[in-house]
Structure formats: C-alpha cells, structure tokens
Copies of this chain bind each other. A is one copy, B any other.
Amino acid sequence: MTGDGGRERLFTPGPVAVPPEVLEALARPVVHHRTAGFRACFVRVRAALAEVASVPGDDVMIVTGSGTTAFEAALLASVPAGARILALRGGKFGDRWAAMARAFRFSVDDLDVAWGRAWPEELVRARLAAGPAPDAVTLVHSETSTGVLHDVERIAAVVREAAPDALLLVDAVTSLAAAELEPRAWGLDAVVAGSQKGLWLPPGLGFVWLSERAWSRAPAGRRVPAYALDLHRERPRQREGEAAATPATSLVVAAEAALDVLRRESTKARREGLARRNGAVLAAGRALGARPFAERPSPAVAALAMPDGLPAPDVVRALARGGVRIAGGQDGLAPFVVRPSLLGWLDDGDALALAAALERAWRDLGRAAAPGVAVAAAQRALSM
C-alpha cells in the first residue's frame, strides 16, 4: 500500500501468513534427521497434530508434499486396487479426488452438486440406495474453490447407514484446526490436511490420519503400488520419529513452533474467531453489493460473487496494486468470484483492514462505495 513501506498482506486461503515464531524456527541452522533431538521433535509434532485433529494418541503421518500428495498417500494406503469409489463433487477439490482415483484405475462414480451448493444428504442417500454400494467415498470438508463447508458429520452418518463398509476419505486440507472435525465420533476413515492452511506453516507438508479399518482394508497384495508415498512402510518408522526418506526437517521444526502458537488459545476460541472474521468479510462484501457464494460458508474462505459488471479478476488486481493478496475464482468461477480469507495468522483488526481494502478496490474500479460502508459492516459482524 502507498506509504505502507511496500508491505504485502496475504489474505488467501493458503499459503497464509504465519506467526513470526514459525519464521524464526525456519531460520535456525539445519539439523540432521537421524538424531535423538530431531526424532523427539518429530514425535512431539505428530502427537500435537493428533490433538489438533481430535484423534489424540493415534498415528498422524507426516508426508513431504502438498495436500494432494497426502490425499494420494491416504487413498493408496486404504482402498484396495480396483475398488469402487463414490466421489462427491461440487468444486475443484472434489473434482481432483475423482480424477486422482481415476488415474489409479479405481472404478469411480461421481455425485455432483452445483459449485457453491452443499451436498444435500437426501441426494447422497438416494444415490446410495440406487447402488451399487461403494467401497469408499471421497468427500471434501471445506471446499476451498467454492467456500462451502460441507456437512461431513451428516453426510458421514448417511453413508454409514446406507453403506456401512464404505471407507470415508475426507479432504480436511483447509478445515483442520479451523472447523469442527471429529473423525472418531463422525466415523471417518481418512482425514487429510496440508501445512499451509489452518496450521500456519509454509507449504511442503501434508498430514494423514487413518482409522484402524482404513489401515487394514487393503492388505499388501491388493494395493495400488506405492513407494515414496507408502504409508504402511512409513507407519512403524514414524512412530520412532523417523521417516523412510529424509523428511523436510526445517518444516517439521517449524511445525512444532506453529503448534505451540496454536495452543495458546482453545480450539473453541480459535474456531469461533475464524468463523467470526470470515462472517465479517462476507458482511463487508454484502455491504458492497457482492453475494456470499457458498450455501454453507466455511470459516476458511469467504467466497464472494461479484455484483453484475464487476469482473472478479479486476478486483483481485486492484487489491494487489494496494499490496493486498486475495485469491480469485478457480476454473468456471474465475470471471465472477473472489476468495479472500482470514485463515492465516490474522486477527479482527486484519478483517477490518481487508474490508477497507475491498472498499478502496471498489472505488478504484469506479463503483459506488460510501467510505466506511464495508468496514462498518465488518465491525458490526465482529461485535467490535
């Protein structure tokens, strides 16, 4: 922003702004992974991740790669080769897991809803009643492309009832540490996350939790071949603080710093804060004539459909000129959706800064926007 010393503000749904403690940890001298000190750190990070994922004491596998890499590892470790997969789609990431499953020659059925809609449980129930029964279902908790927080608890219950043996593989890439997620109580079988989202780390690590039935569903001879991403090979090693190949040590050390920062507030307070700030961004957008795009908004991203005649890419660029980065729409949504996010290391004050930046972008693009209209709406939503 002019006069702001060239500062860039990252209001994107990953990568996100991370705490200074994380940057400090990244800047420490490189450590060797085959040392008692690093092994202990690796074990502590896994245990803390299991707490964050609400599966204390269980194995959380650390994968070097993106959320996509981690989803692949979860899929190949748990679903037998050639099995039938029902892919719940309604956005870019729902589509991605269907495409991935097809690439590995699973038998994939799609169940689609329009982008922006949440999966209606009756649609899922009807599809399962019509058969054939799937061996696994892929679903997305927070669909970052549309801003929808799908009701994984309800959908899981429907699947459990209609197809009790189907594994439930959940993309929690932007929901982990951001939205309520209870893998055990909800009967999930795989939960996959990425580092650069609600965990306040740079990209480069993915995380996988599997239920015990997911760990045992695909025995050795019946799996799609995997090597670098073979979680069965990794599991006993990671319990000892090791990994089969060299892990991204700097990111693991930084993960401990991030988890320490996260623990400074309660899970409940954190989730409420994210939801409140996301609501404030949606309110700011509404005050400017934009429309919340998601039927059931995720706390991780505020997808906003632009008013008629205001091209979304112009808004993204106008904000960028002021040093404010938000995400644009993906694929078919590119012309008319923007996706600001307060998922990073940000607070209520940052929500106001974003609202003000939106106002200014509107004016820069020749749109009426009374000074303060978006900020006031955000402030009301924040009860500040």
Q: Which residues of A contact B (CB under 8 A)?
A: 8, 10, 12, 14-18, 23-24, 26-35, 64-69, 71-72, 99-100, 103-105, 194, 196, 202-204, 224-230, 244-251, 320, 325, 327
Q: Give A24 to B14 CA distance when docked, in angstroms.
A: 22
Would you call A72 and B228 a contact (CB within 8 A)? yes
Q: Give A202 to B29 CA distance when docked, in angstroms.
A: 9
**Given A32-B15, A196-B30; A228-B325 close (CB under 8 Å):** no
14 further interface pairs, Cβ-Cβ under 8 Å (given A23-B28, A99-B227, A202-B250): A10-B31, A10-B32, A15-B31, A15-B32, A23-B27, A23-B29, A30-B196, A34-B327, A35-B320, A65-B69, A66-B246, A100-B228, A103-B227, A104-B225
**Given A33-B15, A203-B246; A224-B225 close (CB under 8 Å):** yes
Q: Give A15 to B226 CA distance when docked, in angstroms.
A: 25
Closest to A203 in B: B246
Between A28, A67, A69, A244, the greatest number of chain B beta carbons within 10 A of the residue's beta carbon is seen for: A69
Can you name 25 A-B residue pairings with CB atoms under 8 Å?
A8-B31, A10-B30, A10-B31, A15-B246, A17-B30, A23-B28, A23-B29, A26-B26, A27-B27, A33-B203, A34-B327, A35-B320, A64-B64, A64-B65, A64-B66, A65-B69, A65-B228, A65-B245, A66-B228, A68-B245, A69-B245, A71-B228, A72-B228, A203-B250, A204-B249
Closest to A35 in B: B325
Shortest CB–CB separation between residue A225 and chain B, in angstroms? 5
Which DSSP category, helix, strand, loop or mixed, fits chain A's interface?
A: loop
Would you call B227 and A72 a contact (CB within 8 A)? yes
Q: Give A224 to B228 CA distance when docked, in angstroms.
A: 14
Q: Which residues of B contact A10 (CB under 8 A)?
A: 29-32
Q: Which residues of B contact A100 (CB under 8 A)?
A: 227-228
Would you call A14 and B246 a contact (CB within 8 A)? yes
Q: Give A316 to B28 CA distance when docked, in angstroms.
A: 23
Would you call B30 and A202 a contact (CB within 8 A)? yes
Q: Which of B30, B71, B245 has a CB less than 8 Å from the CB of A15?
A: B30
Between A23, A24, A245, the greatest number of chain B beta carbons within 10 A of the residue's beta carbon is seen for: A245
Closest to A100 in B: B227
Q: Which residues of B contact A204 (CB under 8 A)?
A: 64, 204, 248-251
Q: Which residues of B contact A325 (CB under 8 A)?
A: 32, 35
Q: Which residues of B contact A26 (CB under 8 A)?
A: 23, 26-27, 250
